Amino acid sequence: MLVLVLETPDEEEDENDARNVSVIRILIWRIKVSLKLYFLRHGETIYSETGAYCGDLDPELTSEGHQMARAFAEAHRSIAWTAVYVSPMKRTIATAKPLCDALGLRMELRDGLKEIRYGKWEDKSVEFVKQHYWDDYIHWLAEPAWNAPTGGETSVEIASRASLVIAEIQKGYATGNVLVVSHKATIRIILCDLLGIDLGRYRDRIDMLAGSVSIVKFDLHGPLLQVLGDRAYMGEKLRARTGT
């Protein structure tokens, strides 16, 4: 427990006393609230390589995807992890598993962290979608916040469900390091929501390659983006992999 003591001469003005009390309160707040969220996109899948739409589909990681997961665990095992929240899909669970197994951490599975539902576009290439769902595709490109893939989800809907998970984490942990393992669109939408970026521009403003890590710190002035899309931990060979 940290105790801050401020001694002031009796002759100081009340105004100075009030100012000093405010400073103390800010310092205590900073000490009590220092939560970091590490947003990790899952490792490579076959869909990361081909670029076909994959939301509700549940593919396994490729061998390179498993290498990315092991590399993340090795590079980040020294961090004092408070909790691990994971989308309940095979690719995200497999990405979190090496770290959780190494440190004995429990995965908290949350549906709110799932990838965007692409509806009728699932497993289809961009060219196929252009040919068969042109109007929906153009509307989605122009304003994905309010226009969904055919039978799928808007970014507003994704932000709504994902924000419940972020709120749960903030309520449960005022301090510490929390790993959030999720998906390309979902992480970008969460970041836009936290940073005040238009949800309709998530694809235009933020990229999120397979296995990339972004860090947001919650401090006095709210969410602060400290790291975006880092993949240095995985080595040059894996970083050079083609795909989305």
pLDDT of residue 20: 55
* 8 pLDDT more than 50: no
pLDDT for the residue numbered 85: 99
Q: Which residues contact 137 (CB under 8 A, 6 or more apart)?
A: 129, 130, 149
| Helix pair 90-103, 63-76: axis angle to 10 deg | 40
Whether 91 has a pLDDT exceeding 70, the answer reads yes
pLDDT number for residue 28 = 46
- Which class does domain 35-239 fall in? alpha beta
User: Above 90 in pLDDT, residue 12?
Assistant: no
Percent of the chain with pLDDT over 90: 83
Position 95 confidence tier, pLDDT thresholds 50, 70, 90? very high
Residue boundaries of the structural domains of the chain: 35-239
Q: Above 60 in pLDDT, residue 6?
A: no
Token pair, residue 39, equals 């947003």
- Rounded Cα distance, 198 and 237, in Å: 34
What is the spatial distance between Cα 6 and Cα 24, in angstroms, rounded to a whole number? Answer: 8
pLDDT for res 158: 98
State which amino acid sits at residue 137: Y
Other Cβ atoms within 10 Å of 80 Cβ, number: 7
pLDDT (0 to 100) of residue 219: 85
Strand partners, 217: 36, 224
> Is the overall model pTM greater than 0.85, yes or no?
yes
The two structure tokens encoding residue 197:
């970026």
Backbone angles phi, psi at 187, to 5 degrees: -65, -45
